[in-house]
């Protein structure tokens, strides 16, 4: 080795000379990344690019930077950096699984926001102790889901203009790089700008975001500054003179602020409409409830089956994969995008109805997300009934000709078969979370959470434990109340 800085003593000539397993990962200053055995991750840096932008001892610069930044910033387990006899520069750290990377890994909003505030505090520490001499690349994809920085290349240790590693042929590159990596304003606004870009592109996946998450992020950013009025003016004024270079973080943030304002305005201008998801145990009367409500209130109440909305969403794609594969990918890897698309599609199919009733929803996470997007414009109607009543009704239904379709009575079915079938369905729904839906309540932050001790729960529960007439009267009372609320809101808004 020509030069080296070893941090972890477990790193030795034996594992350094081990077989490399190349991975399809690259960064701005690397040409190859991969694994050294099961324990280490290596990154071969672009030596030519480094030499073009810095003529000093890169290993020494990296060592000083590492020792400075680790005092105030949480880092992943770096093991060292070496320069081989052939001039190859290799940075080595402990392996980080893909699931630990913040880019592409779903993370809850509460934890994500805590990481965001933590990084802002770390920036404050760097500014306080080094006064612009030590910085970092705060792009959110450089962090793990625990808020650890894992990219130190090139070192953000200021030793004159050359140590900024800017492109000499790009006149604005030095200003852009220095601003983002060394100034308090630049590091903080770059953090928020990359978060907004990542969320928009789907690279950063944050579940259960606050409805006003952009406002929360802005609040955290502004509160991290001592001179808050200055950053407020730059974020919210109409003056573009201070930008200085392309893709300025503040310009990116302001564009998202404007987009958010337009979306909020558009939402307010939309016709008031409420989505009500019908759920409950098997054979409790959900289908009958939906049929009654849509027939009793035609034009005002429209019924959409959830599975039909899913199918319509698929039909609007280019169908490059099967419906099953598409559904699996969307509901697991693109959860928020999927349900945002669901809301849009349901509104299209709702055709201006005041209330759109949809059946059947089982998942707690799904209704939590829908509530985070729609607020008071989404509701739950939980139809409940005693087990014996449910079995008896299904037994009677199947042994009678259907008044709604061409289904004929099946006189071979037994009560015992229906009992077994109903219990099996209940168990399946219980595992899916359907029974937890009626336990949800709105907490002090306006979010849904399971709370058995809440005085008021989110779902409207109707017990189908009497006659058909009594059940339908309960449904009429429920829908009439919902329609009255919608009409009152329209009158208040001058519609």
Chain segment 32-82, per-residue pLDDT in tens: 888 888 788 888 999 888 888 888 899 999 999 999 999 999 999 998 899
CB 342 within 8 A of CB 308: no
Helices (H), 228-381: 228-236, 249-269, 286-296, 306-315, 323-333, 335-350, 364-374
Instruction: List, in sequence order, every residue forming a beta bridge with 42; answer none if it has no partner.
Output: 34, 92
Which of 331, 397, 317, 393 minimizes the C-alpha distance to 362? 331
Residue 495, pLDDT score: 43
The residue written with tokens 């449910």 in the block is 390
CB 58 within 8 A of CB 89: yes
User: Once rounded to an integer, what is the mean pLDDT over residues 155-183?
Assistant: 82
Q: Which of helix, strand or coil describes residue 43?
A: strand
Instruction: Mark 235-246 as b/e (b = at least 16 C-beta within 10 Å).
Output: beeeeeeeeebe
What's the burial of 131, exposed, middle or buried (CB within 10 Å: 0-12/13-18/19+)? exposed
For residue 27, what are its two tokens?
């960064």
Q: Which of helix, strand or coil describes residue 412?
A: coil
Residue 208, pLDDT score: 84
- Answer yes or no: is pLDDT of 273 > 60: yes
CB 79 within 8 A of CB 11: yes
User: Once rounded to an integer, what is the mean pLDDT over residues 185-195?
Assistant: 96
Confidence bin at 223 (pLDDT 50/70/90): very high
317 to 218, 305, 310, 334, 370: CA distances (angstroms): 34, 19, 11, 14, 22
Q: Which of 26-35, 39-48, 327-336, 361-370 has the lowest mean pLDDT?
A: 26-35
What are the tens digits of pLDDT across the range 427-446?
A: 999 998 899 999 999 998 88
For the chain, counts of helices (H) and of strands (E)? 17, 15
Q: How many CB atoms lie within 10 A of CB 302?
A: 21
Higher local confidence (pLDDT), 95 or 170: 95
Q: What percent of the chain has pLDDT over 90?
A: 54
Cβ neighbours of residue 344 under 8 Å, at least 6 residues apart? none
CA distance 74 to 146: 9
Higher local confidence (pLDDT), 4 or 149: 149
Residue 393, pLDDT score: 87
For residue 151, what are its two tokens?
């990219």
CB 281 within 8 A of CB 435: yes
Q: Which of helix, strand or coil describes residue 47?
A: helix
CA distance 130 to 110: 30
- Answer yes or no: is pLDDT of 175 > 90: no
- Answer yes or no: is pLDDT of 424 > 50: yes
Instruction: Mark 418-432 as b/e (b = at least 16 C-beta within 10 Å).
Output: bbebbeebbeebeee
Which helix (DSSP H) or strand (DSSP E) does residue 355 occupy? strand 355-359
Average pLDDT value for the chain: 88
User: Once rounded to an integer, what is the mean pLDDT over residues 391-407?
Assistant: 86
Which of 27, 324, 51, 42 minimizes the C-alpha distance to 168? 51
For residue 247, what are its two tokens?
């893709």
- What size, in residues, is the chain? 495
């Amino acid at each position: 080795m020509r030069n080296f800085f070893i941090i972890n003593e477990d790193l030795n000539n034996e594992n350094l000379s081990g077989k490399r397993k190349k991975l399809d990962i690259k960064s701005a200053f690397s040409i190859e990344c991969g694994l050294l055995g099961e324990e280490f991750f290596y990154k071969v840096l672009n030596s030519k690019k480094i030499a073009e932008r810095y003529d000093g001892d890169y290993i020494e610069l990296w060592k000083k930077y590492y020792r400075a930044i680790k005092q105030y910033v949480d880092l992943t387990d770096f093991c060292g950096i070496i320069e081989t006899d052939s001039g190859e520069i290799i940075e080595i750290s402990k392996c980080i699984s893909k699931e630990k990377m913040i880019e592409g890994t779903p993370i809850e909003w509460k934890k994500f926001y805590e990481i965001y505030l933590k990084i802002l505090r770390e920036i404050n520490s760097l500014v306080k102790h080094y006064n612009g001499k030590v910085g970092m690349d705060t792009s959110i994809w450089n962090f793990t889901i625990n808020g650890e920085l894992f990219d130190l290349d090139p070192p953000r240790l200021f030793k004159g203009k050359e140590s900024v590693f800017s492109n000499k042929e790009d006149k604005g590159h030095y200003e852009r790089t220095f601003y983002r990596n060394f100034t308090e304003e630049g590091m903080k606004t770059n953090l928020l700008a990359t978060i907004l870009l990542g969320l928009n592109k789907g690279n950063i996946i944050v579940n259960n975001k606050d409805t006003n998450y952009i406002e929360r992020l802005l609040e955290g950013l502004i509160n991290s500054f001592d001179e808050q009025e200055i950053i407020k003016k730059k974020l919210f004024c109409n003056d573009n003179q201070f930008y200085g270079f392309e893709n300025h973080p503040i310009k990116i943030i302001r564009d998202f602020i404007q987009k958010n304002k337009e979306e909020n305005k558009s939402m307010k201008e939309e016709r008031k409409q409420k989505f009500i998801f019908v759920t409950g145990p098997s054979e409790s009367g959900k289908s009958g409830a939906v049929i009654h409500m849509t027939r009793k209130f035609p034009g005002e109440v429209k019924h959409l089956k959830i599975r039909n909305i899913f199918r319509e969403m698929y039909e609007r794609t280019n169908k490059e994969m099967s419906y099953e594969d598409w559904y699996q990918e969307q509901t697991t890897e693109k959860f928020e995008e999927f349900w945002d698309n669901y809301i849009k599609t349901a509104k299209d199919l709702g055709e201006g109805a005041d209330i759109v009733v949809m059946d059947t929803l089982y998942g707690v996470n799904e209704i939590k997300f829908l509530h985070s997007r729609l607020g008071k414009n989404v509701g739950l109607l939980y139809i409940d009934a005693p087990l014996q009543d449910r079995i008896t009704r299904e037994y009677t239904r199947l042994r009678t000709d259907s008044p709604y379709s061409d289904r004929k009575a099946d006189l071979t079915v037994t009560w015992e078969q229906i009992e077994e079938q109903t219990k099996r369905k209940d168990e399946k729904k219980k595992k899916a979370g359907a029974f937890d839906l009626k336990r949800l309540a709105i907490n002090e932050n306006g979010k849904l959470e399971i709370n058995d001790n809440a005085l008021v729960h989110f779902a409207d529960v109707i017990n189908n434990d009497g006659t058909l007439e009594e059940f339908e009267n309960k449904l009429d009372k429920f829908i009439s109340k919902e329609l009255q609320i919608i009409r009152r809101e329209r009158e208040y808004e001058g519609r």
